[in-house]
Amino acid sequence: MTKSSSRTVLLTAVAALSLALPMGSASAIPPDTAAAVATFDYTSNLKPLGFSARAVPTDNTVPGSGVFNSDLAFWGDVAVQGTYAGFRLVDISEDGAPQEIIDWEECAGPTTTAGNQGDVIVWGDLIIRSWNSPTPIPLRDGVPIPATDPARFTTPGAFCGDWPMFRVPPTPTHPVNPPAVDRGQEGVHVIDISDPTDPEVVAFVDTPCGSHTETLVPDRANNRLLVFSNPSANTTFGSPEPGSEPVHCRGLDIVEVPLDDPSEASYLRFLPTGHPDTPPEELHPCHDTAVILGDVMKASCAGGNGPTVWSLDPADGGSLDDPMFMFHRELGTSIGHTAAWTWDGEVLIFGHEPGGGGQAQCQATSSVLNRTLFFLDGDTGDTVGTMLHPRPQTNLENCTWHNLNVVPTDKRYLLVSGNYQSGISVVDFTNPASATEVAFADPAPLVNPNNPAALELGGDWSTYWYNGRIYESDITRGLLVWNLIGPIRAGERSQAYLNPQTQEETFPLRVRS
């Protein structure tokens, strides 16, 4: 059970593109926010409102370098910002003064990146967090424990809070690449935040393919949360017996978290990206998965060369915990990354991440494919429009279309996207065949202090719309809050919470303009 099942501490109840303006022309911006965006160019219909710092050193000789800020989720007036060390809780009730509640760095530490990524889901008093890489080799007195010593499998290689991450031997359902003893647990942690100043890890589910990112699927009828855990890896383990399917990571893992006792979280099944009889070599991994419920009941995994779509509707033979494969579309990409739906389910947005997010893929000389965002028919997967990244970046800026969500409004199709060092992009795609950027906030290139001629990884991990504001998770800076000004945001709907990859309702687009 959670620490306090009777309470939920966190639950509280330009139509035209303008000229890019430097920070110096703005006014009435809090000083810390002004300093944080001092190098940004941004359109006059975007105003920086607030900033909560979590500075990550860019000098790789300084402890904490590489312990980045990552993805976001929201519950009431609290933002949850994932980090490579754990997560932050930030009070966002006042635009100009977001206040950090806690920077929890116990998974696995403020200067280490074991498990890394730290993708987050929030549901009331629970945070579910992705542990993305194998547990480190366990040590005894600072020395690796030999593979022949049974203590290899009973000594933690790392901790998440007080939860020990043990090395484990292979099993039939969890095979490992040889040498087996050099791979440890990876999967998802369930963390109780009923006391937000003292989070407690109450469960861990070890998944065959790890957890690079994760998507929430609430199953209220069965009083549980389902987690679609995306491995990102493209691995096939071992050699199968004749007539059997090899265990592989070309799909996603499904985890169950019972709400009446989250400590009993467990593994349900693996979902491949194809029909059960599809050869594994024709499948692809899932990097991110977008779920839309309501009247649509679909899930889409972005990964590899294009998206896969499943039905969650029993009328199609699917369910929340065992989706039915519908189709896969090949778009020629190498690392499919992002999927999102319009709120009517008519359009599926697909983005990819050439270079894994660490390369300068938004240069004027970068390939057209690598700079393209796709808009697809939600029923067939046919391409109905594309958009080229609109602002060429330098060869010192890591950049792709990265994490985004669609603004909940019935007036138009509008998305906000975080694109690493090209920052924020707001796109009107009411006509998907003629999508247009209507606002942006673009920081100057980071300077690599160890080698100024080399790219310094940073920028905007995620940008999401939530209750009238744009929230930007900056890899090395922290959390920035922005206001989009003008009639383009008309018709927006408020939300009690947001896990950006999950849309629990649907509504039609009523006005096209």
Share of residues in the chain with pLDDT > 90 (%)? 76
E strand or H helix that includes residue 303: strand 298-303
Q: What is the pLDDT of residues 55-64, one digit of tens each?
A: 999 999 999 9
Cβ neighbour number for residue 295 with a 10 Å cutoff? 12
Q: Which two tokens stand for residue 354?
A: 């050439």
Q: What residue type is 324 in one-letter code?
A: M
Residues of the chain under the 70 pLDDT cut: 1-27, 170-183, 238-246, 511-513
Contact present, 120 and 104 (Cβ < 8 Å): no
* 71-93 burial code (b ≥16 CB/10 A, e <16): bbbbbbbbbbbbbbbbbbbbbbe
β-strand pairing of 497-498 with 266-272:
unpaired
Contact present, 488 and 414 (Cβ < 8 Å): yes
Residue in this structure with the two tokens 């069965």, named with its chain if needed: 222
Contact present, 356 and 234 (Cβ < 8 Å): no
> Peptide bond before 108: cis, by omega within 30 degrees of 0?
yes
Cα 489 from Cα 127, distance rounded (Å): 30
Contact present, 412 and 430 (Cβ < 8 Å): yes
Nearest alpha carbon to residue 423 among 436, 408, 405, 439: 439
Cα 190 from Cα 262, distance rounded (Å): 7
Task: Please state the three-class secondary structure of 101-128 as a single string.
Answer: EEEECCCCCCCCCCCCEEEEEEECCEEE
* pLDDT of the residue at 146: 86
All structural domains of the chain, each given as residue ranges with its CATH number in brackets, are 20-133+186-238+245-503 (2.130.10.10)
Nearest alpha carbon to residue 251 among 320, 299, 314: 299
* pLDDT of the residue at 9: 37
Cα 4 from Cα 144, distance rounded (Å): 40
Helix-strand-coil percent breakdown of the chain, rounded to 5?
10, 40, 50
* pLDDT of the residue at 8: 38
Cα 253 from Cα 56, distance rounded (Å): 31
Query: What residues have CB less than 8 Å from 48, skipping those under 6 apart?
Result: 23, 26, 29, 33, 34, 36, 37, 40, 42, 441, 480, 481, 482
Cα torsion at 193, 194, 200, 201 (round to 10°)?
A: -70
pTM of the model: 0.92
Cα 364 to chain centroid distance, Å, stands at: 27
Cβ neighbour number for residue 197 with a 10 Å cutoff? 10
Exposure on the CB side of residue 9, measured as CA atoms within 13 A: 17
Q: Which two tokens stand for residue 100?
A: 């950090």
Contact present, 459 and 420 (Cβ < 8 Å): yes
* pLDDT of the residue at 177: 53
Nearest alpha carbon to residue 479 among 425, 438, 418: 418
Residue in this structure with the two tokens 């929030």, named with its chain if needed: 122
Q: Which two tokens stand for residue 37?
A: 């965006």
Cα 508 from Cα 158, distance rounded (Å): 48
The radius of gyration of the chain from alpha carbons, rounded to an integer in Å, stands at 22
